[in-house]
Structure 1
Amino acid sequence: MDERRALVFGVSAVLLWSTVATAFKITLQQLTPLQMVTAASVVSSAALLIICAATGRMKQVSEQFLASPLYYLLMGLINPLAYYLILFKAYSLLPASQAQAINYSWAITLTVMAAVFLGQRITKQDWIAALMSYAGVVVIATQGQLLNLHVTSVAGVGLALLSTLLWAGYWILNTKNTADPIVSVLLGFLVAVPMCVMLCLYQGVTWQSITWQGWTAVTYVGLFEMGITFVLWLSALKNTRNTAKISNLIFISPFISLILLATIIGETIHISTLFGLAMIIGGLVFQQTKRPQRSATETTH
């Protein structure tokens, strides 16, 4: 174990994840959600293939897929295809500060879904944490106008919440998978890419109008939201004896993200968004005070 190395990997991952909400908004100025998923998945697949080749995992790629082809087809359909299509659409309808804050409630969604599908018990502390977090979602969605329940975009909020269901469902399906996690993520992207291409052909998607800035932005998303950052995070958890210490770094990410959104793209950050995000993070911290940290492969976006 190398705690200093783990901290460097962990902080690097958190800082990179802090930039993706801004990158999403910049990319959506030129690309549709489907174009984003397609291009970013190609970039991520290439990056993960290089990593697997460099670390001697290439033989495992075909072995893992052939051992459970239907499983990896389902996983690729959920993540990246459905999850990112829905998440990017939510970002296109909502201010990025709202979309990313609501997306952080996925860990609470996971607790509820684990009780339903895995038979895990929901404690009183879980219910309190869920109440705190989803109250924060309501504050963010209504921009603090709780009495008249005015929502910026009902569809956007609905899609952001749906993305938490898909992300939590992805990790529930992943709980029984003992295969190499990096190879598993790569297989999801390799499965999703041909699906994305077929959807693009079906919808007659054209790519000629995208400038080099658009290609740069979507490449950044593919590398640092979907690909390399996941490997950094796993490496951090692998090199530490204190998983909770490293995992709790993720709570810094949404607040750095808000600063970047305000300074880089000039997005207005409402007080209600800060308050609601604090409630969501507070609920997550409150929930985690009672038990060991979850699986090392769980990540937050």
Structure 2
Amino acid sequence: MTTSQTASPALSARARATFIGTVAILLWASLALLTTWTPSLPALQLTAMTFTLSTLAAMALWSLRGDGVIRHFRLPAKVWALGVSGLFGYHALYFLALKLAPPLEASLINYLWPLLIVVLSALLPGERMRWFHLAGAGLGLLGTVILILGKGEVGFDPRYLAGYAAAFACAFTWSSYSVLSRRFAATPTDAVGAFCAATALLSWLGHAAFETTVWPAAWQEWAAVAALGLGPVGLAFFCWDHGMKRGDIRALGTMAYAAPLMSTLLLILFGQGEASWQVAAACALIVGGALLGTGDLRKKPA
């Protein structure tokens, strides 16, 4: 059997897993739009409701498969620590950053996480950093900066240092969770359902402590909550876990910069944003960066 014959199935499996990971990016693009359709709901309550829905969906799937629900919660302590810190830790830090710093600056710092994934992935066994990975991620970051700057003036004020620190911790938390998932590749992706359950519980506790409960007043808000819980706050995390464990981490990190771009385009499409030269420039940079950063996926096996 030739080298190409043995390499092709492995490359194909890796490419399929990378494609599944991109589904998460596509779903996350709808997060901002769907969130704008739930204007009356407090942040932690919305998080709790959506993660509760994603947990119930996972449990229903397990039951239909005849797996049993309880066994999916029997996970090692270090797996629990990684999953809960990734899902709940990221969202808690993100909300904290938005509370302590202006949203534009907080968003800009938060979107360092795709670049951090590309950089941190070099620490994994068997992974090799190439110049086009960093260059692609850098173009994506530049496009995101232009996209966010186009929404208003960004001025880093020392008064908001705590918020900036929370935003960076947010980016580092998600990138670390994503990369470290590869070290737990033997853990089934179904474990994400257990992480969603823990995140829902902690979010309900946080909501009870810091917020006043406000239930959706119209069916449209309920529909948006359901869409969030099944899509960007549900299926997306399962797809991302699979992609991180079995796909090309650096390619996914580079392509992740498409999320803020597609999110902006969706907002424009639904009349909640305006087209501009910044959007066009960001589009060119992010798409160009994605093509550059995924160059090794398009190469034929030797």
| Identical amino acids, percent of aligned pairs | 21
Question: Would you say how many aligned residue pairs link Structure 1 and Structure 2?
Answer: 274
Indicate yes or no: 2:57 matched with 1:26: no
C-alpha displacement at 1:190, in angstroms? 1.5
Return the letter of the residue paired with 1:135. Answer: L
Looking at structure 1, the residues matched to 242 and 117 of structure 2 have their Cα atoms a distance apart, in angstroms, of 23
C-alpha contact 2:80 2:195 (8 A) present in aligned 1: yes
TM-score of the superposition, structure 2-length normalised? 0.68
Q: Which residue does 1:239 correspond to in 2?
A: none
C-alpha displacement at 1:111, in angstroms? 1.4
Among candidates 144, 159, 165, match of residue 172 of structure 2: 165
Return the letter of the residue paired with 2:205. Answer: M
C-alpha displacement at 1:177, in angstroms? 1.6
Deviations 1:179-198 (A, max 9, x none): 45432110111222221122
Tell me which moved more, 109-118 or 193-202.
109-118
Q: Which residue does 1:151 correspond to in 2?
A: 154
C-alpha contact 2:268 2:275 (8 A) present in aligned 1: yes
C-alpha displacement at 1:199, in angstroms? 1.3
Alignment map for 1:1-301 (pairs within 5 Å): 16-27=27-38, 29-58=39-68, 61-62=70-71, 65-79=73-87, 81-87=88-94, 94=103, 106-115=113-122, 121-143=128-150, 150-151=153-154, 163-179=170-186, 181-203=188-210, 205-208=211-214, 210-212=216-218, 213-229=220-236, 257-290=263-296
TM-aligned CA distance change 1:196 to 1:273, over 3 Å = same
Deviations 1:122-152 (A, max 9, x none): 333233223322222332232299xxxx417
C-alpha displacement at 1:211, in angstroms? 1.6
Looking at structure 2, the residues matched to 25 and 12 of structure 1 have their Cα atoms a distance apart, in angstroms, of 21
C-alpha displacement at 1:254, in angstroms? 5.9
- Could you say what secondary structure the match of 1:30 adopts? coil
TM-score of the superposition, structure 1-length normalised? 0.68
TM-aligned CA distance change 1:102 to 1:286, over 3 Å = farther
Looking at structure 1, the residues matched to 164 and 287 of structure 2 have their Cα atoms a distance apart, in angstroms, of 18
- Could you say what secondary structure the match of 1:266 adopts? coil
Structure 2: gaps of 5 or more residues: 1-8, 10-15
Computed over aligned residues only, the root mean square deviation of the Cα atoms, in angstroms, reads 4.6
